[in-house]
Amino acid sequence: MSLIRFEDVHFSYGREPVLSELNLSVPDGAVTVLVGPSGSGKSTVLRLIAGFEAPQRGVVLIGDEATSRDGRILVPPEARGVSMVFQDLALWPHMTVRQTLELVLGREVPSPDRRRRIDETLAVVGLEGHREDRPSDLSGGERQRVALARAIVTRPRILLMDEPLSNLDPPLRSALMDEIRQLQQQLGLTILYVTHNQQETFGLGDHAAIFRGGRVEQWGTPRDLYDRPRTAFVASFLGKCALLPSSIRGGRLESALGELPLAETRAPSTSEVCAVIRPEDVLVNDDGPFRGKVERVVCLGGAFEAEMAGPGWRLLTILREERPLGTVLPFRISRVGLDKVTQLVLSSRSLEVKFMNPLDRLLHDELNGLLDRIATTVPGGSLAAATTAHPALRARLDEAEARLAALRATLLESYGDWGRTLEDLENLWAVAAWRREEASLAA
């Protein structure tokens, strides 16, 4: 049963659209994770549910009640049964834990009831011994628990959490993830949780919505999204993978690597696809039909992540033992996911496996944004054909090439020691040059 619904919601800040005709249903009594790149609209969804903003168009419903519609807030934030935990926690430094919770409850709650609810809430979050402590007396994890206590002491039906664990170290983040899950089950809360973190997505989410450009790219359980992504964007955002341009011909899946297993019962009807290959599906063994040279090895603790490459392809795999660089390994591929993509966007997204740190992710999103704008003139054909049919495409190619040049110069100047990032950028530069050459030939 859905507790929260967005129906054709559009929201923008000034002239910049943030949500575009968003339709979303959030189930009652579950943890729904909103994940996606910065600027995709995740935090805005929380603000609309909380009542801090109203959509310019569309309606936001909680239960069967419209809380905001077409620029108007119909139900004030304090009457929605919603609490929020912010990324920066926003604790009052001069107040003790007890004073913070008393202020939130207000004088409308009788004093005996306030004391009882504060005691119950502190017991739930494990802060019974910190009633008179101020934030400066507490550790990072304890301050996080104060923020949780402040949010649940009012007994909300809905708890909104905007990247609350992003500033914590991994062991503490993992421990608090378990506590949030236990809290949700104990109190029967409906939680919407915004994150960029894959571990939080899989560890907390009953459901997940992958946001991109103000819309939901795909909805489902985290595991289903990982195993059966509908697009290359979803595949790469939820975990490392290789994205290989491929073709389906005569019931066979052909790529630069060779013929790949085609087990998809819902294989796209188009011949041009993108093969999604996860590291765990690349199995190194002596009778494997493929060969790849080890170009990079990273220790993961109990295993090693190896990057293998060959003419026109690059894959990741997991090894139990470290292998020297330059070693040629036989391997096979146990499973391949497929994504239908246009020829234009395919070359850009096939490099997505290489952009894993935040700076590279921002760079990649900017490049894909430019390419998507170009792709609006390429509804279903090749770039060469589209250039002939649409002269305006040449101007857009010029714009993309100029932007690529500026990004390349900035990265070379600021991050000259990042050899692999520069190599990736050179690949992108080659892709842009190829596009321009193809466009010139088509003209």
**Whether the predicted pLDDT of 122 surpasses 70:** yes
pLDDT at site 397: 59
DSSP state of 176: H
3-state secondary structure of 62: strand
- Amino acid code (one letter) for 25: S
Q: Report the DSSP pairing between strands 72-73 and 242-249.
A: unpaired
Of 386, 369, 368, 364, the C-alpha closest to 377 is 386
Of 8, 4, 28, the C-alpha closest to 19 is 8
3-state secondary structure of 61: strand
**φ, ψ (nearest 5 deg) of residue 89:** 70, -45
pLDDT band (50, 70, 90) for residue 26 = very high
User: Higher model confidence: residue 372 or residue 84?
Assistant: 84
Kindly state the average pLDDT of the residues 179-207. 92
Domain ranges for the chain: 2-225, 239-341, 349-443
**Whether the predicted pLDDT of 143 surpasses 50:** yes
**Mean pLDDT over each residue of the chain, to the nearest integer:** 80
pTM equals: 0.72
Kindly state the average pLDDT of the residues 179-187. 91
* Burial environment of residue 416 by CB neighbours within 10 A (0 to 12, 13 to 18, 19 or more): exposed
**Whether the predicted pLDDT of 264 surpasses 80:** no
Q: Report the DSSP pairing between strands 242-249 and 252-255.
A: antiparallel
Of 14, 16, 80, the C-alpha closest to 48 is 80
Expressed in angstroms, the distance from the first to the final Cα of the chain is: 55
**Whether the predicted pLDDT of 220 surpasses 50:** yes
pLDDT at site 391: 57
pLDDT at site 394: 56
**Whether the predicted pLDDT of 133 surpasses 90:** yes
d(C-alpha 226, C-alpha 210), whole Å? 11
- Tokens of residue 12, six digits: 């923008």
CATH topology of domain 2-225: Rossmann fold (3.40.50)
Of 168, 180, 236, the C-alpha closest to 206 is 180
pLDDT at site 372: 53
Q: Is the dihedral of CA 239, 243, 249, 253 positive or negative?
A: negative
DSSP state of 323: -
- Tokens of residue 113, six digits: 């009831």
Alpha-carbon radius of gyration of the chain: 25
